[in-house]
Amino acid sequence: MYGLYLEKDEVVQITISVAAISLALGIVFAGADGMLAYPREFLFFLAPLVVTVGSGFILHEMAHKLVAIYYGAQAKFRMWTQGLLFMLATSFFGILFAAPGAVYIYSNKISKRQNGIISIAGPALNVVLMLFFIALEFLAPIRQFFSFLLLSGSDFAPFGIGGGVLSVWRFGAAMNIMLALFNMIPAFPLDGSKVFAWNKFIWIGAVGALLVLGALIISPGIVIGWGMMLLLFLVLSKLLFG
């Protein structure tokens, strides 16, 4: 078995990725105009994003890493600089392309089944975190007001944003379901492609369960939104990776 520990450069790359994903998401919700109009509030807004979405991102990647190590592979998080910059660029258009990097697995003896289980561990972790945030929403709700959310707030009601108020845990639950659904798209190099290659029925079951959860927690419209994302990524993946 290889080392469980994180190397220093890996910690640096994870930290940069979490900062970037939180910043990109902040820009998606505040808009460039909101960020410039209320820079101090924007900085405070990044804290709940790191806690709910940054943690969802780190723990998702660490779930892949730990399962891969369990199977005797070496696994390292590697930042993807182009993807990170692309994510920041698209955030100005209100789109979060949540792929600043990924865990790379170094082994020549990982089976399709093991690779599928390593891959599904990430989205599964997001579901666990979603349940945790739903529990927190009932036990210790946190509401924070941000002026810039008032400008666009009504658009984000399904994500726990309304009247300029962010319901932190409800937002965290919605975003973790989104992270899981995004990653389960069966287009290379997303997790879904490896789960699909391992077992189509498990993929269908997992996506079906996630869509039901998404419809309940966010809105039924998420099913159509995910379907459109699926088509887009299947086309993009074909164009980029053949």
Measured from the CB atom, is 183 or 193 closer to Zn ion? 183
Which residue do the tokens 């790359």 mark?
13
183: contact with Zn ion by CB under 5 A:
yes
Number of residues lying near Zn ion (CB under 5 A): 3
Active site residue 61: yes
Distances (CA, A) of 111 to 62, 79, 90, 115, 118: 20, 25, 35, 6, 10
d(CA 170, CA 174): 6
Using DSSP bridges, classify how beta strands 143-145 and 165-167 pair: parallel, antiparallel or unpaired. Answer: antiparallel
User: How near is the Cβ of 173 to Zn ion at its closest, in Å?
Assistant: 19
| Among the residue ranges 80-88, 124-132, 138-146, 187-195, the one whose residues contact Zn ion (CB under 5 A) | 187-195
User: Shortest Cβ distance from residue 49 to Zn ion (Å)?
Assistant: 19
Binding flag, residue 122, Zn ion (CB under 5 A): yes
| Part in contact with Zn ion (CB under 5 A); list of ranges 10-18, 181-189, 204-212, 232-240 | 181-189
- Least Å from the CB of residue 64 to Zn ion: 6
User: Alpha-carbon distance 140 to 162, whole Å?
Assistant: 19
Question: By CB under 5 A, is residue 191 in contact with Zn ion?
Answer: yes
Amino acid at 221: G
DSSP 95-137: -----SEEEEEE-S---HHHHHHHHHHHHHHHHHHHHHHHHHH
Compare residues 122 and 214 and give the one whose CB is closer to Zn ion. Answer: 122
Alpha-carbon gap, residue 144 to 164, rounded angstroms: 8
Q: Which residue is nearest to Zn ion (CB)?
A: 122
Of 30 and 68, nearer to Zn ion (C-beta) is 68
**Can you state the angle between helices 81-91 and 8-37, rounded to 10 degrees?**
10
Rounded-to-10 torsion of CA 29, 31, 36, 40 = 0
Residue 66 CB, shortest distance to Zn ion, in Å, is 13
Compute the least distance from the CB of residue 144 to Zn ion, in Å.
29
- Contact code string over 45-84 relative to Zn ion, x by CB under 5 A: ----------------------------------------
Catalytic residue numbers, as ranges: 61
Site residues, Zn ion (CB under 5 A):
122, 183, 191
